Amino acid sequence: MTQGPSADTRRPLIVALRRGSLEDGPGIRTVVFFKGCPLRCVFCHNPETQEPGPEIAFAEEHCLRCGACVQACPLGAIDLDSPARIDRRRCDRCGLCVEACPGPALRLVGRYWEVGELARLLLRDAPFYRHSGGGVTLSGGEATMYPDYVESLLRLVKPHGIHVALQTAGHFDYPVFASRILPWVDLIYFDVKFIDRSLSIAHLGRPNDLILENLARLLGQTSVEVRPRIPVIPGLTDSRENLTAIVEHLYRLGAPDVQLLPYNPLGLQTYGRLGRPAPDLSAAFPKPDEERRLVETFREIVGRVLNRCAA
Ligand code: SF4
Ligand code: SF4
């Protein structure tokens, strides 16, 4: 096994392919999760997709303590008695331990797919897409980091009449995006987390100027449907002030609607598997009455903004 590539726009790694998804756009879809993201959201629910390069994930509950990985590692980076198990500063992510492991305890996160190979896999489910009004969804991580690859992929997929959706956090070079990716996309889910610049720097790792500029540009053109979404992160994005600021901003931009993305804590355990500290967030899914309250609050905010702007 060779060391994987990093943020080479022609050779992105794919973390996962989810076939038969009913949650990532209309109809039945195949979702492609790209590895790599320019943001570092402190609440990222899919941390495997943040770094563009390959990573080793270790799941202690599956470990047999057989020691095969220790024998296989040429850099002496694995210690069965160390709580972290892998010394990440020594590990060069060669993947030899993963090959030696007899079970699912070790996993190499991120695989390169030749573009034709991936297109063939996506087209395999074309009859399901057609019958359900579904298609392909590009997700991540951030697919827009890889305009060369994405354009090549969609040039192979789109002529078959496949509906293409893109999930993005919005931090991309607009001219490159507009010329390479936008012509092939039917629907864009655009995540809006903060309007306040300092909150964006604090919680996304970057200012949001480019994100908001790109949102305005996309909502101002008509060739593609754009659906803004607000990821609900308890204690961070769900404050009344933040939700009001987002709704007001979207109203000014003429957004036709906005969706709340429910909080999903399932990714929290992944941080430990990658050898990273987990963010200090609730490990529980919100209770139904909490969700109901949030939706009511959100409706009230939308109503107030509409009334105020119409007055
Ligand atoms: S991936 Fe890292 S821990 Fe595993 S064998 Fe290679 S260097 Fe050792
Ligand atoms: S090879 Fe796999 S099962 Fe064996 S000790 Fe290493 S991680 Fe555990």
Q: Same domain for 79 and 38?
A: no
Domain end residue (candidates: 94, 109, 124)? 109
Report if residue 3 sits inside a domain: no
**Largest Cα–Cα distance of the chain, in whole Å?**
72
Q: How many structural domains comprise the chain?
A: 2
User: Do the beta carbons of residue 175 and residue 202 sit within 8 Å?
Assistant: no
Instruction: For 158-204, write each residue's pLDDT tens digit.
Output: 999 999 999 999 999 999 999 999 999 999 999 999 999 999 999 99
Mutate to test the pocket of ligand 2, among 61, 101, 107, 108 (most ligand atoms within 8 A of CB): 101
Report if residue 305 sits inside a domain: yes
Q: List CB contacts of 290: < 8 A, sequence separation 6 or more.
A: none
Q: Same domain for 228 and 271?
A: yes
Which pLDDT value is given to residue 2?
35
Supply the CATH number for residue 25's domain: 3.20.20.70
Domain range for 300: 14-53+112-310
Q: What ligand 1 atom has the least distance to the C-alpha of 72?
A: 5
CA of 68 to the centre of ligand 2 (A): 6
Instruction: For 115-168, write each residue's pLDDT tens digit.
Output: 999 999 999 999 999 999 999 999 999 999 999 999 999 999 999 999 999 999
Q: Which two tokens stand for residue 307?
A: 């009334």
Q: Same domain for 98 and 69?
A: yes
Cβ < 6 A, ligand 2 pocket = 63-69, 100-103, 105-106
SS3 assignment for 81-106: CCCCCECCCCCCCCCHHHHHCCCCCE
Q: CA 80, CA 84: separation in Å to the nearest integer?
A: 9
Q: Same domain for 281 and 175?
A: yes
CA of 64 to the centre of ligand 2 (A): 6
Q: Same domain for 151 and 203?
A: yes
Which pLDDT value is given to residue 240?
96
Percent of the chain past pLDDT 70, that is, above it, reads: 97
Q: Same domain for 155 and 39?
A: yes
Q: Same domain for 298 and 156?
A: yes
Instruction: Give this prediction's pTM.
Output: 0.93
Alpha carbons within 13 angstroms on the beta-carbon side of residue 34 total: 29
Q: Same domain for 34 and 61?
A: no
